[in-house]
Amino acid sequence: MLPWQRLIFIFCGIFGCVAVMLSALGAHLPDQAFITGGRAMLSRGVEMLMWHVLALLALGASGMAVLRWVALPMALGTLLFTLPVASLALKGPNVAFLAPFGGTLTMLAWLSLAVLACFVHRFRRAVK
């Protein structure tokens, strides 16, 4: 396992654990623990977190080293996006300024995956 894959799998493990924890909080905390609409906001944040865990698992398991340029920004973007969402929903510290950076980084990671898919044949030839 390459170091970038190990790092991605560490992110996956932590993100998966946090998603389960936040989901449990969303299900069991009383309404006053949330801002107005916060329970639904938290639920959407958890959903986004889990979908990105699955995407990161697939990228890490692919074994294609070039995908580290997708996986690492995606992991950081996911963190920078979901952290403010959960914090806001649960009346935590206001770190909402991070969400646009995280969202942009995550979108750029997805777009870079599309670009890499267009040119994957070039990368495979370069490796051989």
Q: CB–CB of 39/91 below 8 Å?
A: no
Q: Give the pTM.
A: 0.90
Selected from 1.10.3470, 1.20.120, 3.40.190, 3.90.820, the CATH number assigned to the domain covering 3-127 reads 1.20.120
50-78 pLDDT, tens digit per residue, is 999 999 999 999 988 889 999 999 999 99
Confidence class for position 125, pLDDT limits 50, 70, 90? low
Write down the domain spans for the chain.
3-127
SS3 content of the chain, % helix, strand, coil (to 5): 85, 0, 15
Across residues 122-127, what is the average pLDDT?
A: 58
